Structure 1
Amino acid sequence: MPRPVHFEIHATDPERAITFYTAVFEWSFERSGPGPYWLITTGEGPGIDGGLAQREGPIPDPDASVNAFPLTMEVPDLDLMAREVEQAGGRVVAAKRSIAGVGWIAYCRDPEGNLFGMLQPDPSAG
């Protein structure tokens, strides 16, 4: 069965993106290779790591609905993390809603306009 093994974030201002993801998720970034590219370590244990690249095209429309292949992170407290996103310069673009028997999900955009999801597991969600 295919499974995610890497993700990549494209940013017009990589340093701003690094500041955002470090503040919200405590990810670490390490410059890699000759070009503007950073390896992202998301933590220990199960999960995937990724990369951050200099954006080569236009910024996605920040007011568009879900128009990507969003990466979703599991979080222990969705309300708290949504506040963290906003305090770090991002915004919630699809408010918290339930997924029956799974949990609570919300979609956000980082300061670079990239879409991502956050999921708080809760089997009793309806």
Structure 2
Amino acid sequence: MKPNFFDMTVHDVDKAREFFGNVFDWSFEKLESADRYYLIKAGPDSEDGINGGIGVVGGARIAEGRPLTQVTIPVTDLESYIAKVKSAGGYVLEPRLAISGVGWYATCAEPGGLIFGLLQADPDAA
């Protein structure tokens, strides 16, 4: 399974948006269901790569006050992948939570501590 999303947490969202917009020509769309969080359009759909999101450090408990980038991997059954993570020696940092209109999400880490997200699509998640 390929990652399909990246997420960045930063201290100053407005400055970071300006920076990445100027450097990479990314565009941003406010996500209405989240405070100070924007979806990132990192290029045209015809271009290789993935899109992402950017929000404030304080809004991401796992960031522990530091800027952070993580990837999200789409899964068909979140609970079974959480079980696979645990049985392979990894751990769950944030258990299953709903992202309204998007799906069910969990933050995990591999045994060495590298953080990644799992997302089961479900437009009815609330």
Q: Taking structure 2 as the reference length, what is the TM-score of the superposition?
A: 0.50
TM superposition score normalised by structure 1: 0.50
Structure with greater helix share of residues: 2
